[in-house]
C-alpha cells in the first residue's frame, strides 16, 4: 500500500471548468475504466474495493498528465484525506487529530471495516486511539503531523460523489442482509 498523508488542493483547483469538461469526455471515461480494471477497483491507499464511485486520481496532482503510470484508484474516504480542505471545510465530515495508534492508511482500512460492521464513530475513534482534536489549516507542514478521521456525520453537500457512494454502500449492505435472511429462511 502507498503511504497516505493529509493534504489539500489549492482552492482555485477545487472547481475548474476545463477539467470538468475533460472529466466528462468519452476519452477520459475509457481511460478511467482501463485504470479501474488494471487496479481491480481497489484503493491504492487502503485496499478498499467498490465497483462504483471509486476515483481515478492523478498521482502528481497534474490533471493534464494522463499517462497510465500517473493514474491510480482512490476510494471516496481516502480522497477526502488527500483533499483535506474539501473533507474538513466543504463537505465538513473530516476531523483531525494529533495522536493515533495507527498510520493514516490503517486508519482508513479499519474505519471502512468497523463502519460496515456497524461500529459507532466513538467506538472507532477509541479503537484507533485518536486524541487531541485540532482544526484545519491550509498548511502542508501542519497537516503532515496530523491524522484524519472521516466521520459518519451528515455531509453538507448531499449531491456530491461522497454522498452517492454512501447511499450505494447502504444499498449493497441491505442486499447482502436480505440475501442472508433468504438463506436463513430456506
> Applying CB under 5 A, which residues contact Zn ion?
43, 45-46, 48, 75, 78, 108
The DSSP result for 55-121, as a single string, is EEEETTS-TT---GGGEEEE-HHHHHHHTHHIIIIIS--EEEEEE-SS-HHHHHHHHHHHHHTT--H
| Residue 43, SS3 per DSSP | coil
Rounded to a whole number of angstroms, the minimum distance from the CB of residue 4 to Zn ion is 7
Of the pair 45, 136, the CB lying nearest Zn ion is at 45
Phi and psi at residue 91, in whole multiples of 5°?
Answer: -80, -30
Rounded to a whole number of angstroms, the minimum distance from the CB of residue 94 to Zn ion is 13
Of the pair 53, 137, the CB lying nearest Zn ion is at 53
DSSP at 157 = -
Of the pair 7, 137, the CB lying nearest Zn ion is at 7
Of the pair 46, 96, the CB lying nearest Zn ion is at 46
Rounded to a whole number of angstroms, the minimum distance from the CB of residue 30 to Zn ion is 24
Rounded Cα gap, residues 167 and 29, in angstroms? 22
Do 165 and 52 touch, CB atoms closer than 8 A? yes
Rounded to a whole number of angstroms, the minimum distance from the CB of residue 36 to Zn ion is 14
Within 8 A by CB and 6+ apart from 71, the residues are: 31, 35, 56, 57, 58, 59
Of the pair 95, 112, the CB lying nearest Zn ion is at 112
Rounded to a whole number of angstroms, the minimum distance from the CB of residue 86 to Zn ion is 15
CA distances from 40 to 52, 81, 118, 168 (A): 12, 21, 26, 18
Amino acid at each position: 500500500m502507498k503511504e497516505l498523508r493529509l493534504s489539500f488542493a489549492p482552492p482555485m483547483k477545487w472547481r475548474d471548468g476545463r477539467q470538468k469538461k475533460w472529466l466528462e469526455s468519452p476519452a477520459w471515461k475509457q481511460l478511467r475504466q482501463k485504470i479501474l480494471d488494471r487496479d481491480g477497483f481497489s484503493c491504492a491507499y487502503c485496499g478498499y474495493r467498490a465497483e462504483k464511485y471509486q476515483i481515478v486520481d492523478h498521482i502528481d496532482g497534474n490533471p493534464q498528465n494522463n499517462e497510465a503510470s500517473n493514474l491510480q484508484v482512490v476510494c471516496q474516504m481516502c480522497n477526502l484525506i488527500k483533499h483535506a480542505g474539501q473533507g474538513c471545510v466543504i463537505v465538513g465530515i473530516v476531523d483531525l487529530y494529533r495522536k493515533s495508534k495507527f498510520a493514516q492508511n490503517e486508519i482508513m482500512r479499519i474505519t471502512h471495516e468497523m463502519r460496515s460492521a456497524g461500529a459507532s464513530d466513538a467506538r472507532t475513534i477509541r479503537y484507533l486511539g485518536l486524541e487531541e482534536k485540532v482544526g484545519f489549516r491550509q498548511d502542508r507542514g501542519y497537516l503532515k503531523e496530523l491524522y484524519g478521521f472521516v466521520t459518519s456525520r451528515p455531509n453538507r453537500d448531499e449531491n456530491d460523489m461522497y454522498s452517492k457512494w454512501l447511499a450505494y454502500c447502504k444499498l449493497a449492505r441491505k442486499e447482502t442482509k436480505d440475501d442472508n435472511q433468504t438463506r436463513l429462511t430456506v
